[in-house]
Amino acid sequence: MERQKIIEWTDEEILARLNALYVSERQSVVDYDAHMMAIDDLSLRLGLEMLRDRAQDHALQLAARIRELGGEPSGRLVGVQPAGSTPARMLAFDLGEKQRRAGQYLELLLGIIEDARTAKLVTQLLLEELQHLQWLKSAWLAARQRANEKA
C-alpha cells in the first residue's frame, strides 16, 4: 500500500486560505441579506437572518486571526450573486455556497499541523458551518416541496 503524503500548509498558505474564507463569509453576508429581503416566508427570513449574523461573526473572527498571524484581511466581494427568483432557487444557491465553504474549512484544518490556535478556531467555525448546512438542507427541501406542490 502506498503511503499518503501528509498535508501541511505553510504559514503563507494558511494566511491565504484564512483570507479566502474571510472573503467568502463576507460575501455570504451580502447574499443572505439580499435573499432574506426577497423572501416573504417569515421562518425562512429569520433563518437567513441568523445565518447572515453568524457569517458576519465568522468574518470578524477570521479577520482577527489573520491580523494576529501578521496578515491583513482583504479581498473583493462580487456584490449580490444571482441566485434565482424563488425561495427554493435562492436556498439552493445558499446551500451550494455553504457546502463549498465547509469544504474549504475542512481542507484548511487538515493542513494545519503546528498552529493549535488557528486549528481550534477553524474547528469551531467548521462545526458551526455544518450545523448551518443542516438547516439550509431542511429549508431547501421544504421550499422545493412547496414549489412542486404549486406546479
Amino acid letter, residue 32 = Y
- Region 10-18: mean pLDDT is 98
Domain ranges of the chain: 11-150
- Region 102-118: mean pLDDT is 97
Proportion of the chain above pLDDT 90, given as a percent: 85
Predicted confidence (pLDDT) at residue 148 exceeds the cutoff of 90: no
| Whole-number Å distance between alpha carbons of 144 and 63 | 35
| Whole-number Å distance between alpha carbons of 45 and 148 | 20
Name the 3-class secondary structure at 73: coil
pLDDT for res 23: 97
- Region 108-134: mean pLDDT is 97
Q: What single string gives the DSSP state of each residue in 22-67?
A: HHHHHHHHHHHHHHHHH---HHHHHHHHHHHHHHHHHHHHHHHHHH
DSSP class of residue 138 equals H
- Region 61-85: mean pLDDT is 89
- Region 35-60: mean pLDDT is 96
What average pLDDT is seen over the chain?
A: 94
11-150 sits in which CATH class?
mainly alpha
Q: Which of 17-21, 29-33, 61-65, 143-147 has the lowest mean pLDDT?
A: 143-147
- Region 97-107: mean pLDDT is 97
C-alpha cell at 30: 451580502
Contacts of 101 (CB under 8 A, 6+ apart): 21, 24, 25, 28, 129
Indicate yes or no: pTM above 0.85. yes
| Whole-number Å distance between alpha carbons of 95 and 116 | 29
pLDDT tens string 79-97 = 777 767 899 999 999 999 9
